[in-house]
């Protein structure tokens, strides 16, 4: 059964990261003050310089700590390489090592983040 989720933020730029897997401190280019512990973060990893090209992997992180309105601690959960059977991923990686496809291999652009929140089972009684 699919999760009932809402999107909290989309296309949020990553400014900088610190830490080592599976937990990372991420500084964002804009406020993420509405993020909550437990929210999910997704990012698409592409080859640097290949905007709109093939997706290398789809990464999922979870918010595990809040420092301030633009800095969060996130934990790597999983990543999935599209069209690979059986499903497999590239493995734990810093959010600052995921390329959006913009830039070049010498100066890549970080993949933006999308934040979603599980609505939980209590919400399901209102959905037909």
Q: Write the pLDDT tens digit of every residue in 9-66.
A: 999 999 999 999 899 999 999 999 999 999 999 999 988 777 777 889 999 999 999 9
Task: Compute how many other C-beta atoms are within 10 angstroms of the C-beta atom of residue 46.
Answer: 21
Calpha distance 33→48 (Å, rounded): 29
For the chain, give the mean pLDDT.
Answer: 88
Contact in structure between 38 and 62 (CB atoms under 8 Å): yes
Angle at 63 between CA 121 and CA 87, to 5 degrees: 75
Asked whether residue 123 carries a pLDDT value surpassing 60, the answer given is: no
Asked whether residue 120 carries a pLDDT value surpassing 80, the answer given is: no
62 closest CA partner among 52, 73, 49: 73
Asked whether residue 127 carries a pLDDT value surpassing 70, the answer given is: no
Say what the pLDDT of residue 1 is: 43
Say what the pLDDT of residue 3 is: 62
The whole-model pTM stands at: 0.86
* pLDDT, tens digit, 9 for 90 and up, residues 69-102: 999 999 999 999 887 767 778 999 999 999 898 8
């Amino acid at each position: 059964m699919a999760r009932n989720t809402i999107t909290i933020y989309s296309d949020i730029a990553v400014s900088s990261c610190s830490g080592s897997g599976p937990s990372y401190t991420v500084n964002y280019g804009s406020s993420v003050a509405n993020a909550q512990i437990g929210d999910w973060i997704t990012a698409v990893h592409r080859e640097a310089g290949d905007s709109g090209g093939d997706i290398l992997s789809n990464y999922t992180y979870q918010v595990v700590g809040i420092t301030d309105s633009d800095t969060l601690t996130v934990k790597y959960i999983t990543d999935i390489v599209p069209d690979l059977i059986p499903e497999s991923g590239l493995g734990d990686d810093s959010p600052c090592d995921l390329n959006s496809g913009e830039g070049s291999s010498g100066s890549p652009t970080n993949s933006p983040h999308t934040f979603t929140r599980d609505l939980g089972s209590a919400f399901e009684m209102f959905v037909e």
